[in-house]
Amino acid sequence: MKIVVDLNQCDLHGLCVEAAPEVFEIGDDGQLHVLNDTPDEGLRAKVDKAVRECPTGAISLET
Amino acid sequence: MLRRIAIVGASLAGLRAAETLRARGFDGALTLIGDEPHRPYDRPPLSKQVLQGTVEPEQTFFRKKDGYDALALEMRLGVRATALDLRDRRVTLDDGTFADYDRLIIATGARARTIPGLASRPNVFVLRSLDDAVALRQELTTASRVAIVGAGFIGLEVAASCRARGLHVTVIEALAIPLAPILTPELCEMVAATHRDHGVDLRTGVTVTNVVGDSRVAGVVLSDGSQVSADVVVVGIGVIPNTEWLQSAGLTLDNGILCDGSGQAAPGVYAAGDVARVANEWHGDSPRIEHWTNAVEQAVHAAENALAGSGASASFSSVPYFWSDQYDRKIQFAGDARRHDEMVIVDGSLAERRLTTIFRRGERLVACLTVNQPRALIKYRKLLAARASWVVALSETAAS
């Protein structure tokens, strides 16, 4: 899977950071960073949770 | 044998339940029933970007990119459920048809409370649905004066959106301060001051006692004798859970559908979202929660338990979280501040209208509210989920 984040949509709710801290982080610059945009399948459940819980729909997956 | 699952309610919770059922491998017949004519859409933008005109109504639809083919739903839109028969496992619909199920997920949400005598007027609006937002936005294009009844989050967001459109805005609130049931007095005063600074005429401690105008409302008379003229009236005084259709079904209804920790209301019947009162381990109660994230979490939980069978052992634990955007301020709140013993501003200040406050009950951190400090909210929401003690919360504060 490949993670795509639309930073224009990101509203910094940070639910993705809670769902998948291995993948998402809010940096000192106050922006969302994708630490690994092609994570292992083992992280699929966490990434799915991040996608469905994002209030602005900013995160999508390309398979 | 699990062959048919019906979901009543085609908003966020209903959609997320459907998506979860498919993601977990359910390949039977899946019916999604919604009383609005639209496919599932996102409500938070309605009071903000849609009213302001920066987002078009069709941009609020979910799954714009993915579509619905992969979900293989039988989507029944514009159809209302009128009755539930638990014994026959059958939902009656208002078009004379039925939906039979092996498992049922109820996500019928809530509707806006109205004021008798005002509700039927052509220029009086509530804001709950996409159609509400489209109709109100249309009316705002020719209006100059808007009266908003109720200074809750919806009323205040509508006020901010109307000010962004350059309209004259009066907000009428029965209590002494806006948001009084939700926030502490000093935070409510800060929100009130923000609106007044943006030109909102905020009238508190008054109610609407009379209406001026024949068919269309030309203004309202308040309990202090003053009169507010208006081209448009918006009523934002809370919501009522949509449970009337379940009146004789045999479920336990009390300000929503009472559910156990698995989201189950009766054998094979689950509920999620604004209509549900799911036993919440973190919360210690079965609150009815009207927040976006709650709808998602409960829908996923209900869907997983519906597939798992009885699900009797499953428990639900979630920190309530909501946000509100007004002007250039983002208010975020996580936790449960009822009956708190102490509130501490750990960063920023009321004067700056940019702050982080945390709430203590007993020895525990129980809530966090931020204004324009999203990173702090994330930090404390995590501590809340971990049931951090007050001492730990304060030490985290000192460390940052």
A15: nearest Cα among A52, A43, A45, A44: A52
pLDDT averaged per 10 residues, chain B (length 400): 95 98 96 98 98 96 93 98 98 98 98 91 97 98 98 97 98 95 91 98 97 95 97 97 97 98 96 98 96 97 87 81 96 95 96 97 97 95 97 85
**Structure confidence at residue B313 (pLDDT):** 56
Give the CATH number, domain containing residue A27: 3.30.70.20
**Structure confidence at residue B384 (pLDDT):** 98
Nearest CA in chain B to A54: B293
A50 in Cβ contact with A15 (< 8 Å): yes
The reply to whether ipTM tops 0.90 is yes
Nearest CA in chain A to B66: A60
**What residue type is assigned to position A61 of the chain?**
L
**Structure confidence at residue B397 (pLDDT):** 83
The residue to which tokens 């997983």 are assigned: B304
For the entire predicted model, the pTM comes to 0.96
Q: Provide residues of B within 8 Å CB-CB of chain A.
A: 16, 19, 23, 42, 44, 62, 65, 292-293, 296-297, 300, 321, 323, 330, 332, 374-375, 377-378, 381-382, 385
At B242, is the secondary structure helix, strand, or coil? coil
In this complex, do B300 and A60 lie within 8 Å of one another by their Cβ atoms? no
Distance from CA of A12 to the nearest CA of B (A): 6
Percent pLDDT > 70 in chain A is 100
The whole-angstrom distance between residue B106's C-alpha and the CA centroid of its chain comes to 16
In which domain, by residue range, is A32 found?
2-62
Going from the N-terminus, what domains does chain B have, and what CATH number goes with each? 4-111+240-308 (3.50.50.60), 114-235 (3.50.50.60), 328-399 (3.30.390.30)
Instruction: Give the span between the Cα atoms of B211 and A21, in whole angstroms.
Output: 54
Please provide the size of chain A in residues: 63
The whole-angstrom distance between residue B141's C-alpha and the CA centroid of its chain comes to 26
**Residue B281: what are its φ and ψ, rounded to 5°?**
-60, -45
**Number of domains present in the structure of chain A:** 1
In this complex, do B375 and A12 lie within 8 Å of one another by their Cβ atoms? yes
The pLDDT tens digits of the residues spanning B255-310 come to 999 999 999 999 999 999 999 999 999 999 999 999 999 999 999 999 999 998 65
**Structure confidence at residue B181 (pLDDT):** 80
Instruction: Give the span between the Cα atoms of B55 and B50, in whole angstroms.
Output: 5
**Structure confidence at residue B380 (pLDDT):** 97
The pLDDT tens digits of the residues spanning B190-245 come to 999 999 999 999 999 999 999 999 899 999 999 999 999 999 999 999 999 999 99
The Cα-based distances of A22 to A6, A44, B293 in angstroms read 19, 11, 21
Query: Across the interface, which of A11, A30, A48 has its CB nearest the CB of B375?
Result: A30
